[in-house]
Amino acid sequence: MSMLEYVPIPYFLVDTEFNILEWSQQSGHLFKPSANFLDLVDVFSQEKARKFLSLRQKDSRELSVDEPHDEQTLVQSRGQAIQKVELVMQTNDSPYSLFECLIQWDSDIGHLVCIRQDERIQELTNLVQDHRKRLADTDFELLEQKERLEKSLQKIKQLSASFIKLSSKVGLIPLFGDLDTALVAENTSILQNFAHEGNYTTLLFDFGGLDILTTEGIQAFAGFMQSFYLMGITCYIIGMKPHHTAALKNRTFGDQIIYMNNLSEIIAVNKNVS
């Protein structure tokens, strides 16, 4: 009984034609009995096996580390050339299994080992799948966070234009933040419904809490004011600041809008309408 039987990996002792002279017990467990190593190799990998594993003239002597060689197929180990290649082989449990095969020649005798790569590939596949899952979970979490943020911003915009009832006919709408398209869009329907359902005839829009008036916001707000005019509601703009007036240069919210900054005038409007 040869001691090679107890080599703890799939091992073959072959001649230059790849005839199997001896093999380890691990080889016997993994592969079907065969007289030639190439019979265990998938038909489409056999030519590759011959090319990269065959005995070479250089392999019968020691190679200098500085001597040119194919880096993909030769590994320097104590000056000896070890040839390696990945092959698809037929095992007892699968007709297609990937192995890394390494051979070192000693004269006309080759010492060939086969290291299964299927498990490594499966591990890498599992890692990739886990990574994809984590990315998908992260994307979903980011999407949820984005949706929550958008809802929060939407709510903030809605709260930036509250409706205060001053009397049965007069409503006060304080505005906060920047006058932009988002502020107008988020509050148009809500404020129109308040005004319509309450049968209001006069609305006071307080600009005291506004900072920037954007060009697009001015245009959107002008259309907003026009909708109240068509509803028969008189709109007043109060609390304008100097930089608001500068932003409105050569622009307007509409000819139907009344501007007031004097508190007594505003109180008088409320009394007269009430």
The CATH number of the domain holding residue 216 is 3.30.750.24
Residues 264 and 197 reside in one and the same domain: yes
> Is residue 65 within 8 Å of 76, Cβ to Cβ?
yes
pTM: 0.44
* Predicted pLDDT of residue 81: 81
Phi, psi of 175 (to 5 degrees): -110, 140
pLDDT in tens, the chain (274 residues): 467 777 889 999 999 999 999 999 999 899 999 999 999 999 999 999 999 998 764 544 433 334 444 444 444 444 458 898 999 899 998 888 889 999 999 989 999 999 988 776 667 667 777 777 887 777 777 777 777 777 656 555 545 457 888 888 999 989 988 999 988 998 888 899 888 888 999 999 999 889 999 999 999 999 999 999 999 999 999 989 999 989 988 888 888 888 887 656 666 665 665 5
Nearest to 112 by CA among 196, 26, 211: 26
Residues 199 and 250 reside in one and the same domain: yes
Among 117, 145, 179, the domain-final residue is 117
Task: Kindly state whether residue 246 falls inside one of the protein's structural domains.
Answer: yes
Q: Maximum Cα–Cα distance for the chain, whole Å? A: 118
Query: 152 by DSSP, 3-state: which?
Result: helix
Domain total of the chain: 2
Task: Kindly state whether residue 55 falls inside one of the protein's structural domains.
Answer: yes
Sheet holding 234-238, edge to edge: 164-165, 170-179, 202-213, 234-238, 258-260
Task: Kindly state whether residue 217 falls inside one of the protein's structural domains.
Answer: yes
* Predicted pLDDT of residue 186: 86
Task: Kindly state whether residue 144 falls inside one of the protein's structural domains.
Answer: no
Task: For residue 220, give its domain range.
Answer: 158-273
Query: CA–CA separation, 131 vs 90, rounded Å?
Result: 31
Among 56, 84, 117, the domain-final residue is 117
Task: Kindly state whether residue 147 falls inside one of the protein's structural domains.
Answer: no
Residues 109 and 189 reside in one and the same domain: no
* Predicted pLDDT of residue 10: 92
Whichever domain contains 45, its CATH number is 3.30.450.20
Residues 15 and 98 reside in one and the same domain: yes
Work out the number of other CB atoms within 10 angstroms of the CB of residue 106.
Answer: 11
Nearest to 87 by CA among 124, 33, 40, 27: 40
Residues 194 and 89 reside in one and the same domain: no
Within 13 Å and on the Cβ side, how many CA atoms surround 62? 5
Work out the number of other CB atoms within 10 angstroms of the CB of residue 18.
Answer: 23
Residues 172 and 113 reside in one and the same domain: no
* Predicted pLDDT of residue 32: 93
> Is residue 146 within 8 Å of 131, Cβ to Cβ?
no
